Amino acid sequence: MSDFDTLGLRPELNAALKEAGLTSPTPIQSQAIPLATEGHDILGLAQTGTGKTLAFGLPLISHLLDMPERPAAKTAKALILAPTRELVNQIAENLRAMTQKTKLRVTVVVGGQSINKQIHQLQRGTDVLVATPGRLIDLMDRRAVDLGQVRHLVLDEADQMLDMGFIHALRRIAPKLGTPRQTMLFSATMPKQMEELSRAYLTNPKKVQVSPPGKAADKITQSVHFLGNKADKQVKLREILSKDMDALTLVFSRTKHGAEKLMKGLVADGFNAASIHGNKSQGQRDRAIKAFRDGTITVLVATDVAARGIDIPGVEYVINYDLPDVPDNYVHRIGRTARAGREGEAIAFCTPDEADLLRQIEKLMKIAIPVGSGEPPTDPVARKPQPRGRGRGPAQAARPEGQKPKSKSRGRRRSRSRQAA
């Protein structure tokens, strides 16, 4: 008997868990599954890598197994929204592992793939529709999907959906959903806008929180290296990578251009590297992640937008080559290691113009990250991030991927969000 047997799941789900080698639920699963199985709306706060997918997926599947009738054409019984293609694919993969011996159908719709093929798949109807908001809106506009039969809604990584501007898409999608319905919202952080979102979409929710927002996994060893400039970063990165050439290492760059340039430089120096970012096609991103998962590629250079859905237990190192402009993203990034109960190491590089970004990260996490090498800058001026600029040129090119220019219209913002999905 496994610990999952005590959570009130259906026998076929317990059998699927055992077949997958899962015997003990994570804290978020132990708390959320019984409440969600009872039909409560759920507000779940947990860092990445804590097992959130099964926390909402298992009770969702259990409810759907109690609804044996086949879905009508173009309809879905449950809708799961996630901000990136990689995360959507990861969720669907986990759900299919749990439903492979049932008649439940899981359908994925994301940007970067043939919309005509997705229209054809939806024509049959589906039990679970896993989607990025942008592509779902496109399908709604083409009248290829009817959301009126949806009785279960899941918003996963909802904080990042807000960061990417998907709030407008959510406002269009929500009125089309069936009622009454169960809604589950999962997020790694709880900014003020997230509180407003939960009030708008959840009814008397049960709050489940397994770690304070901004707290990294206990099994992650962190360090920061203070460096003088970009050239020093390149030297330090190669020094670290050379110490363990076979270790799976995820390297974060702030921009798409920076990620691609860094990857090409590593390949030229003999490292087995690939990159994923918003300028890559979905096929290229999928192949890079598969090669990384298989160990064919050992260094994956990524941006924040592309990497949220990476769930690979074997990642040993996460290197923040560039510190993120948003402190919460640091927690998301380093959460790519130490997954599934393993240990991992998170290494950050900090140049003088990033000192204030580091200060904000440490303030959020309420810790001082141990120094790996170098000396923290003492000049107060050096602690201030350099201005990005507003005109055309290098400052504009350095805008982080996914960040929307303030001067654009709301319509343009929607368009950028759809492209990101």
CA distances to 298, 307, 354 from 294, rounded to whole Å, are: 9, 17, 34
Residue 167 near residue 194 (C-beta atoms within 8 A): no
Ordered by where they begin, the domains of the chain are 3-209 (3.40.50.300), 220-397 (3.40.50.300)
In 10 A of CB 381, how many CB atoms? Answer: 8
Residue 88 near residue 108 (C-beta atoms within 8 A): yes
Residue 212 has what pLDDT? 59
Residue 335 has what pLDDT? 82
HSE-CB at 144 with a 13 A cutoff on CA atoms is 18
Q: What is the pLDDT along the chain (421 residues), one digit of tens a residue?
A: 458 988 989 999 999 999 988 889 989 999 999 999 999 999 998 876 678 999 999 999 999 999 989 999 999 999 999 998 888 998 999 999 999 999 999 999 999 889 999 999 999 999 999 999 999 999 999 999 999 999 999 999 888 888 778 889 999 999 999 999 999 999 877 777 778 888 889 999 999 988 655 556 667 899 999 999 999 999 999 999 999 999 999 999 999 999 999 999 999 999 999 999 988 887 898 899 999 999 999 999 999 875 566 778 789 999 999 999 988 889 888 888 877 667 899 999 999 999 999 999 999 888 999 999 999 877 544 444 444 443 333 334 444 455 544 444 444 444 444 444 4
CA separation for the pair 152, 65 (Å, rounded): 13
Who contacts 8 (Cβ-Cβ below 8 Å, separation ≥6)? Answer: 33, 34, 37
CA distances to 85, 86, 300, 343 from 339, rounded to whole Å, are: 20, 17, 17, 7
